[in-house]
Structures are given as structure tokens and as C-alpha cells.
Amino acid sequence: MIDGDTLATSAGTVRIIGIDSPERGECGSGEAAGALSAALAPGETLTLALPAGQNAQDRHGRLLRSVAGGGIADLGLAQLEAGHAVARYDSRDGYPRHPLEDAYHSAQIASLDAEGRVLTPACAAAAEAAAAAVPTAPPAEPPTAPGTSGDDWWRQYPSCAALKRNTVGHPVGPFNRDAPDEAAAYQWFQFGTGHRGDGDGDGLACE
């Protein structure tokens, strides 16, 4: 077994018509190849059929055939029904139509990802679980308002003018000396910076 859609036979390498399974090394490739291996015993006699109008070989020189064997009338259909492949490389992709094309598409339960790779149901579920497990960054905390905590954020500003240029969302005033949640900021801008933030003495700093 080469992979989930290609077999090595005494007649040559056979690519099953109308399906595509994960490439070797991709998620689901081992399971797709294993399903064919489990269905076909070593030395199993296969029935290879070339539907009318089909190309005999692909561009890699592989035989293009419908395949029966191991008591399974259509191994391509079996791979689709098991979720190990998608219906592909048929008239919907610009290739010759094959007799079971519609049935193949109806049987398909796997899908293609955004990059065109075959995504089996098991791999899709694993990817979804992995994405859900990635922790998200906590939301940024809003700037601390005056008097709401012990973080005297206003002390980083040397003047009301500097405060009003801030780009992080700190309140820019005015600060009322008689308001309990603003009094500390008022005291800083009026007396702590040396710039007399309440120049007119009306009890409001940084107007």
C-alpha cells in the first residue's frame, strides 16, 4: 500500500479513480493507507477497471483504475464512506467524468481545508480541539480612574498639558478638589507638579 488512494500491484502502481486521500505525512494519511491494508490481504487478487472515457494513466505514469478487492466491490467508494478521502479529479475538476462520480460526491464525508488538503473528520475534530485549547490573551484593563485604587497613575504626568497629550486613555480632567474620587489627582496637579493646575482657584484642576 502506498497511501489511501494508491496501490502497488503486479500490473504497476494504481491510482484509484475519482478519490483523493491525505498525502503521506499529513494528518489522516496513516489511517487512510491502513484502511486499504486492512481490506486487502497480501497477494490479494484485485479487479481493475478502466471506465470508458477515462485516461489510462496520470501524469506520473500511474494506472488510473476503479478497484475492487477484499470482498469490497469499490474500494474508492469505501474510502469515501469511511472519511478517508474526498471525491476529486473528476469532471467537476476538469478531468474525465467517471460512472460513479455523483455517488462518490454523495458519499463523501471528509473535506478540503483552506489550502486544498484533504481533511478527514477525525483530523478536523482534532484541529478544532487544538484551536479551542489555545489560551487567549486577557482583555486589557481600562486605565485606572482617580480614587478607584492605590495606583496613583496621575503621578507620571508632570503637568496638565502633559496629561492631556496622553494616548492611553487616562482621564484628562478637570479634577474636582471636593470630589472624593478626584481629590488626589487634584492635589497632584495643583501642588505636586509645580505648575498650579488650578490656576484660577475655582477648585478644578486641568480644566
Q: How far apart are CA 196 and CA 206, in angstroms?
A: 9
- Up-side HSE of residue 135: CA atoms within 13 Å toward CB? 3
Domain range annotation of the chain: 6-123, 153-205
**Residue 57 in contact with residue 63, Cβ under 8 Å?**
yes
Q: Which three cell numbers stand for residue 145?
A: 480612574
Cα 94 from chain centroid (whole Å): 28
d(CA 33, CA 110): 15
Output the pLDDT for position 146. 43
- The contacts of residue 52 (CB under 8 Å, 6+ apart) are none
- Show pLDDT as tens, one digit a residue, over the chain (207 residues): 689 999 999 999 999 999 999 999 999 999 999 999 999 988 899 999 999 999 999 999 999 999 999 999 999 999 999 999 999 999 999 999 999 999 999 999 999 998 899 999 999 999 888 888 766 655 544 444 444 344 788 888 999 989 988 888 899 989 999 998 899 998 888 888 888 888 888 999 998
CA distance 26 to 43: 28
Check if CATH label 2.40.50.90 holds for domain 6-123.
Answer: yes
pLDDT of residue 130: 87
Distance CA 83, CA 181 (A): 63
Q: What is the pLDDT of residue 142?
A: 45
What pLDDT is recorded for position 194?
Answer: 80
